[in-house]
Structure 1
Amino acid sequence: MFTEPVLPMSGPRYRSRMTAIGSYVPERILTNAELERMIDTSDEWIVQRTGIRERRIGEPDEFTSRLAIRAVQNMQERYGVALHDVDLLLVCTSTPDFSFPSTACLVQAHFGIEQTFALDLSAACAGFVYGLHVADGMIASGMHRKALVIGADALSKIADYTDRTTCILFGDGAAAVLLERTDDPRSEPAFFSYTAGSDGNGAAHLYRSNTAASLNGAPLRGDGKLVQNGREVYKFAVQTVPKGVAELLAQAGLTTADIDWFLPHSANLRIIESICDKTGIPLERTLHTIELYGNTSAATIGLAMDEAVRMGRFRDGDRLLLFGFGGGFVHGGLLMRWSDLREG
């Protein structure tokens, strides 16, 4: 359910605002035609069930940290932002380079950020929304001033290319945003409504096995690869997200007509269509990257946001509704007021 960030009992209520954005996808394109030669599938079958035509695949040595670094570099090139004073660095990912050190520490080292709170955040495909919420709350508390939030995943590294029901879905990519504190207490909050939840009973329907050999007494499959029960994930998404959207709107006193853009997690076009049908949000106001990038997990919402920025779709004051959902099961939504970014 909706929760306000916990703030100190005294002192100002700080606001955060997004000041820069960047993204990156690998150059290599994996088409449906190529998958036809690898597994028993067809372009028609994939498009009909998922809406996906292509996905981007990293090189063998292109892991999540490199995707994240490239996204931040893209942000720097476009906005000329300084990173030396970033004091909170979150990498939202399900595919870290290592169990430890964190991918956030690898990004911190690459950019030579001397003093920062560096942390990997694991919330699967809801990771980007979770990361924005955590960063906004940390800034609002007064504990941090400048946060770098990155959603990045290299799902091709854990995809099972013998399983035609899952390998057709996933690709690699990253998106990065910079949140900065504004000290003007009269400023409107960029993030003004939040909802989230989890249901660990869904763990068996979407996981990557690691050191554990069983879950609730049942043996795990996959040998380190991603395992998904697509039917159960679909059911979870189309039941949970519309309820979360309704809760967000009720908390803010808004209706779907007040939302300028909807950015759901790009898991599957059929899921998005069902969610739009149940919520009443028109598809023409829904942004996703599913057709050309596939499911890039924690990167999907940031990639869709940056694509809209590049196309000039957002206007100052637009209301954006972000909603992520995925393994856990976890879900999280944010209502965000857009402020125009100024490229350097």
Structure 2
Amino acid sequence: MQQMGIAITGSGSAVPVTFLDNQGLSELVETSDEWITTRTGIRQRRLANAADSLAELAAIASHQAIAMAGITPQEIDLILLATSTPDDLFGSACQIQAKLGATRAVAFDLTAACSGFVFGLVTAAQFIRTGVYHNVLLVGADILSRWVDWQDRRTCVLFGDAAGAVVLQANKSDRLLGFELKSDGTQNNCLNLAYNANSTELTPGVCVGQGGFLPITMNGKEVYRFAVQKVPEVIDKALFRANLCVEQVDWLLLHQANQRILDAVAQRLNIPEDKVISNLAYYGNTSAASIPLALDEAVRQGKIKSNDIIAASGFGAGLTWGAAIFQWGR
């Protein structure tokens, strides 16, 4: 079987209407606009309300990506949803399939937290390269506001809600030039959205654990140290696999976690500031949505053009991290 290449041919994004700026947050917890901005670069974040659904946000972003790619939902073979916050614990990808009317597509969720979009990109590419599928919709979406402790100023200042999507298509030339994925479960306790079980006795001697999820907890210093060390390394390895040097990169597209992390990674790689894509000031950390959201904005603003080489990297809970080097367009 002749191996196919892949091209990323469309992008889309969606965010909730409601936003909460730093001034509003300062009325909830002891903080200030200056404190948040200087430490994170975040000025506001979009928040889903109780009536909003992840599947609906994802469907809006998906429609945009499919339209840009110039195909119809019925031509989609596979829908991959990268999320940690599905509407349904059994998965939300099938709900997106139904909302799109993508009747031919198989759909499933993939969870790798803030690395989810990069892990999903590499996963989608394998289905295309082996000739199994030709048109894949990859969605990164999270509604982390559902799981934030709004009295914990270490975490509540960081997170926002969004969805981003891309269409990957079979292509004669392969535009995914190189990648590297990593995991380290020994550091799992640095960033958690943990299940909390209460013991329930069904019959004498037979107990089960039932409960819900606790709010997000994070060791910010450790996550910062991990990201600043590991992300430049994984990008270097992906560039090596792509047979490229850092000077050939047109855009550095990192998971939008913290502006200080973006700046530190760019400095370590010697990538100039004007090549770093950043929109976290307006959206905060949107987990698996952050890379496709920033990508879509940059494409629609005319920053990212056809054939531009993008070094993308996601990093977060797991701990997981990875990088993908790709060219935009066909």
Instruction: Write out per-residue CA displacement over residues 255-294 of structure 1, whole angstroms, 9 at most, x where no aligned residue.
Output: 2211000101000001111111111111210102211000
Partner of 1:208: 193
Partner of 2:24: 34
Instruction: Write out per-residue CA displacement over residues 322-341 of structure 1, whole angstroms, 9 at most, x where no aligned residue.
Output: 1000000001100101226x
The answer to whether the aligner puts 1:146 opposite 2:170 as a matched pair is: no
Deviation, structure 1 residue 41: 0.4
1:275 pairs, out of 248, 265, 276, with: 265
Q: Spell out the pairing of 1:60-139 with structure 2 (5 A cutoff).
A: 60-76=50-66, 81-100=71-90, 102-139=91-128
Deviation, structure 1 residue 298: 0.4
Say whether the 8 Å CA contact 1:28–1:57 is kept in structure 2.
yes
For residues 210 and 174 of structure 1, the distance between their equivalents in structure 2, rounded to whole angstroms, comes to 24
2:224 pairs, out of 234, 237, 242, with: 234
Instruction: Write out per-residue CA displacement over residues 57-107 of structure 1, whole angstroms, 9 at most, x where no aligned residue.
Output: 11212121121112123335556530112111100001111211x110110
Deviation, structure 1 residue 315: 2.5
Partner of 1:7: none
Determine helix, strand or coil for the equivalent of 1:99.
Answer: coil
Partner of 2:205: none
Instruction: Write out per-residue CA displacement over residues 215-269 of structure 1, whole angstroms, 9 at most, x where no aligned residue.
Output: xxxxxxx952111111111111011001111112222232221100010100000
Partner of 2:36: 46
Of stretches 109-118 and 69-78 in structure 1, the one that deviates more from structure 2 is 69-78
Deviation, structure 1 residue 153: 0.4
Partner of 1:264: 254
Q: Spell out the pairing of 1:154-193 with structure 2 (5 A cutoff).
A: 154-182=143-171, 187-193=172-178
Instruction: Write out per-residue CA displacement over residues 292-324 of structure 1, whole angstroms, 9 at most, x where no aligned residue.
Output: 000000011101111111111122221110100
For residues 251 and 212 of structure 1, the distance between their equivalents in structure 2, rounded to whole angstroms, comes to 44
For residues 143 and 79 of structure 1, the distance between their equivalents in structure 2, rounded to whole angstroms, comes to 19
Normalising by the residue count of structure 2, what TM-score does the alignment of the two structures yield? 0.92
Identity of aligned residues (%): 39
For residues 66 and 152 of structure 1, the distance between their equivalents in structure 2, rounded to whole angstroms, comes to 10
Instruction: Write out per-residue CA displacement over residues 179-222 of structure 1, whole angstroms, 9 at most, x where no aligned residue.
Output: 1113xxxx321101010110001111101012568xxxxxxxx9
Instruction: Write out per-residue CA displacement over residues 114-141 of structure 1, whole angstroms, 9 at most, x where no aligned residue.
Output: 2322110101001111111111111101
The answer to whether the aligner puts 1:246 opposite 2:231 as a matched pair is: no
More strand by share: 2
Q: Spell out the pairing of 1:321-332 with structure 2 (5 A cutoff).
A: 321-332=311-322
Of stretches 61-70 and 142-151 in structure 1, the one that deviates more from structure 2 is 61-70
Deviation, structure 1 residue 34: 0.2
- What letter corresponds to residue 233 of structure 1 in structure 2? V
- What letter corresponds to residue 264 of structure 1 in structure 2? L
Partner of 1:4: none
Aligned Cα root-mean-square deviation (Å) = 1.6
- What letter corresponds to residue 312 of structure 1 in structure 2? G
Distance 1:235 1:255, change over 3 A: same
Say whether the 8 Å CA contact 1:88–1:117 is kept in structure 2.
yes
For residues 76 and 133 of structure 1, the distance between their equivalents in structure 2, rounded to whole angstroms, comes to 19
Say whether the 8 Å CA contact 1:69–1:107 is kept in structure 2.
yes
Say whether the 8 Å CA contact 2:21–2:43 is kept in structure 1.
yes
Q: What are the ranges of 5 or more consecutive residues in structure 2 without an aligned counterpart?
A: 199-211
Normalising by the residue count of structure 1, what TM-score does the alignment of the two structures yield? 0.89
Determine helix, strand or coil for the equivalent of 1:19.
Answer: strand
Q: What are the ranges of 5 or more consecutive residues in structure 1 without an aligned counterpart?
A: 1-10, 214-221
Distance 1:223 1:281, change over 3 A: same
Say whether the 8 Å CA contact 1:20–1:81 is kept in structure 2.
no
For residues 270 and 19 of structure 1, the distance between their equivalents in structure 2, rounded to whole angstroms, comes to 31
Distance 1:254 1:130, change over 3 A: same
Partner of 2:209: none
Determine helix, strand or coil for the equivalent of 1:37.
Answer: coil
- What letter corresponds to residue 116 of structure 1 in structure 2? A
- What letter corresponds to residue 17 of structure 1 in structure 2? A
- What letter corresponds to residue 304 of structure 1 in structure 2? A
